[in-house]
Amino acid sequence: MDIFGTVEPGYEPVRDAFVSNFTDYDEIGAAFSLYVRGQKVVDLWAGVADRRAGKPWEQNTMALVFSTTKGMTAILVHLLAQRGLIDLDAPVAKYWPEFATAGKAEVPVRWLLSHRAGLPTFDQQITAAEGLQWSTPVAALARQQPLWEPGTTHGYHAITYGWLVGEVVRRATGRTVGQLLAEEIARPLELDCWIGLPPSEEHRVARLSAAPVEAAFDQTGLTEEERRRLEQMLDPQSLLNRTLNPTQPPFNFNSPEMHAAEMPAANGITTARSLAALYAASVSEVQGVRLLDPATVAAATQEQSFGPDQVLQVTTRFGSGFFLSSEYSPLLGPGSFGHGGAGGSLGMADPARQIGFGYVMNQMRADLSGDPRPARLADAVDRVVPRD
């Protein structure tokens, strides 16, 4: 296996972890990047971007990162809040009046970010084609009655997060999440980071490979909790299944139509390098740019939801738009924050050590107990970057 890129002295264990993902976990194609104190110290890529075409993973290959997109969106939202353009504690209806129906008039914007609004899926049929057209899912969510009393509990809004948060952004600024990400974040930092991919960039996107059936559904050694989750994943009537697949037919995440649409929860396309730089610029200065000030980061990472997740059926912990570190998902330890995506991608930051971490891949996995690939990389980073 040929590994390409650069590793600064002292970070060789991170390279070793990246290589071991290919030897131990059947990685097809992947990239990893690490920033520390605003400087890129690891930038690696290897493998195959498209098995069918025999296309190698190259320096600027991009990948669709599923829910890792939520962290990209959250960084943008906190930047807008820092500029005074959105008040996260104001009612959603202040920006989006149609939302104030069916008991939702007082729901604050922050509950959309922390999965407390009770709108994880639709109560009406939405096709995949309609889901790519913005107006239909947004109107449906505005009309809909929550599945639980907002604010009383939380449940992962896997796809609807993007339409809910995105419509607040659109109403408050007159621009979409994709437009703002490109203009206010990607351009100043020179990032390959898209929500709504220009057709001219489609040739750079890696083709996703589905999780092997045996690995996804082998029940050998599962705990009772994992077995119950698997049953719900396979049950088309369960809340978990309907949340992960809110349209019929389901979305095709390899299609150019999906890549060109804006789904701020699930169809972000980026490189590992840009993902790491994005998180690094949220907690330190990168190329003269720092996106979020320390007070904004502190507010964004204050715990909003913790405990049994009504959708995922496991314990989850969220700030405002981010996973927070917990015993169930340690990330880079206490104080770190970020977001992972279906199949294994992960972007995150550690403010104390000024770390920006980005991992993207095209081999999907469905590990009920957590994907070992980003975990192995995170463990290596944690060992080589000292804590003060």
pLDDT digits (tens, 9 = 90+) for 260-293: 999 999 999 999 999 999 999 999 999 999 999 9
Report which residue type is found at 224: E
Task: Give the side-chain half-sphere CA count within 13 A for 242.
Answer: 14
Please count the structural domains in the chain.
Answer: 1
Distance, in Å, from the CA atom of 351 to the CA atom of 23, rounded to the nearest integer, reads 32
Q: List the domain range (segments joined by +) for residue 208.
A: 3-384
> Over 90: is that where the pLDDT of 215 sits?
no
Cis (ω within 30 of 0) for the bond into 249? yes
Q: How far is Cα 344 from Cα 65, in angstroms, rounded to an integer? A: 8
**67 among known catalytic residues:** yes
What's the CATH code of the domain at 228?
3.40.710.10
Whose CA is closest to 91, among 79, 103, 78? 103
Give pLDDT tens digits for 12-46: 999 999 999 999 999 999 999 999 999 999 999 99
Task: Give the pair of three-digit tokens for residue 344.
Answer: 């294994």
- Report phi then psi at 184, rounded to 5: -100, -20
Q: What Å distances lie between residue 69 and 141, 147, 298, CA to CA?
A: 20, 24, 21
pLDDT of residue 171: 98
- Check 20, 33, 67, 320 and give the catalytic one: 67
Give residue 273's Cα distance to chain centre: 15
Q: Give the residue-averaged pLDDT of 345-370.
A: 92
Q: What whole-number distance in Å separates Cα of residue 276 and Cα of residue 323?
A: 16
**Token pair for residue 1?**
């296996």
**Residue 216: pLDDT over 60:** no
Kindly tell me if the per-residue pLDDT of 110 is higher than 90. yes
pTM score of the predicted model: 0.96
d(CA 179, CA 281): 19
Residue 220 confidence (pLDDT) above 70:
no
Burial class (CB in 10 A: 0-12, 13-18, 19+), 208: buried
Confidence class of residue 201 from pLDDT cuts 50, 70 and 90?
A: very high
Percentage of the chain beyond pLDDT 90 is 88
